[in-house]
Amino acid sequence: MTPIPLDPAQLLAPDFSLTRLSRAALAVLGREWLMHGHLQDRIGMPLAHAGRPREEMEAIAIDEWMAASPVYSRRTQRALGFEGTTVETIFKNIQLDIGAPHQFLDFRFTLHDDHHGEFQLAHCGALMDVEPMGEDYTRGMCHTIEDPTFDATAVATNPRAQVRPILRPPRVPADRHPHCHWTVTIDESFPAVVPHPNVALVERSLAARCVVDDPGAGHEPGGWDDYSGPLDPDFQLEDLSQRAQVIALQEIAVQSHLLLRGFCLAVSERVGVDATIERVAKMAGGRGSVTAARLRRAFSVGEGAAGLGAILTMHPFFWPRTYVQPSIEVDGERVRIGLQASSPIFAEDDDFTWLASMPGVADRAITAIARGFDRRARAEPVSTRPGGRGAEGDRVGPAGGP
């Protein structure tokens, strides 16, 4: 794909908002943010598995998704106007879930009626990742983890919904398509799915309760103002209006924050808070860097400090602005990034954010983002507010260096 050209000066303007981007650019950015959320487990699960049995890693993944998915699913439904109790609502929800990033997982939906439907994965990038690890890991993802977590996503719509497999891996023959095939059925005779106990803990977080910015009318015409119309099996972010895209992207960013919270709750119950925060630091660095590199490939923003500042502006770690509030300024060949102490992310009553209070977490994450843009870059703290969390300090990220 040819990178979309963007003007760094526009991105770095003090009054920048996502509405400054075209619908085409917002759709690409949204897909990158979906992938950013999905990447959490590519880093988090190996960290959870290190020195511990595979079965415990699988249990952590189940607890993580069951805690977060119902919370952010209901948020997304409200934000884009498709709340309901039917299979159609469940399918729309999946189409806007970080667990199903567009063009990495290729979902095909068939809606029969309000209570019955099917979906297939014509291609599953997650399966491509796990198959080389062997049948035990494939069954762990496609059986052990997906059975309860698909139902946990559906329960956000209807507690008597069941997602059940027709066909799934391990694949026989090895090149079989589709990769999997599932039914979704709602029946009042089904036992109601019981919410995971950590759902309540996720719900009370400031991230779960933050209200994203309503951008008002967009300046570019076209697209749907919400997703209240019929299910489009081929839905893509380009279908939305500029206003709806901006709202959807902010909700996608919230999904990532909430999924990380689900991960932290699951891990801390097993290894304690300190060991969990150590994993958060590694996850923030790895995911921050990969996403920055992907954004640089997706968008043409130029070289040097201005280009790095543009990537920082677009990075989902710093969205929505109603939850985490950065200031990003280019100063010659350096970028100064400050994180406002008033940001709600600093007011959470625990350390289960990527800006955790463990000293050095944000430093490492911002360094990783800078190096994702330019491997020669580095970041260094230049100040820390007295009495504040270590992550609140301003930082300087040179665009190049030894």
DSSP bridge partners of 121? 107, 180
- pLDDT (tens digit per residue) in 307-323: 999 999 999 999 999 99
Assign 322 to helix, strand or coil: coil
> What would the two tokens of residue 145 be?
């983890």
Residue 272 contacts by C-beta under 8 Å, 6 or more apart in sequence? Answer: none
Distance from C-alpha of 336 to C-alpha of 168, rounded to nearest angstrom: 49
Q: Closest Cα partner for 231 from 385, 113, 365, 67?
A: 113
- Our CA angle for 344, 345, 347, nearest 5°, is 60
Q: Which amino acid is at 225?
A: D
For residue 353, the Cα-to-chain-centroid distance in whole angstroms is 13
Distance from C-alpha of 298 to C-alpha of 376, rounded to nearest angstrom: 20
Distance from C-alpha of 105 to C-alpha of 291, rounded to nearest angstrom: 18
Whether 234 shows a pLDDT value over 70: the answer reads yes
Q: Closest Cα partner for 118 from 162, 169, 159, 175?
A: 162
Whether 360 shows a pLDDT value over 70: the answer reads no
- pLDDT (tens digit per residue) in 329-357: 998 888 998 888 899 999 999 989 988 76
- pLDDT (tens digit per residue) in 67-87: 999 999 999 999 999 999 999
Whether 394 shows a pLDDT value over 60: the answer reads no
- pLDDT (tens digit per residue) in 201-210: 999 999 999 9
- Scan for tokens 């019981």, then name that residue: 194
With contact defined as beta carbons under 8 Å apart, do 26 and 239 qualify? no
With contact defined as beta carbons under 8 Å apart, do 339 and 329 qualify? no
Distance from C-alpha of 108 to C-alpha of 124, rounded to nearest angstrom: 11
Whether 61 shows a pLDDT value over 50: the answer reads yes
DSSP letter for each residue of 277-330: HHHHHHHHHHHHHHHHHHHHHHEE--SHHHHHHHHHHH-GGG--TTT--EEEEE
Angle between helices 242-271 and 54-79 (to 10 degrees): 150
Distance from C-alpha of 95 to C-alpha of 108, rounded to nearest angstrom: 10
Q: Closest Cα partner for 213 from 245, 184, 182?
A: 245
Q: Give the residue-averaged pLDDT of 271-281.
A: 91
pTM value is 0.94
pLDDT band at 388 (very low <50, low <70, confident <90, very high): very low
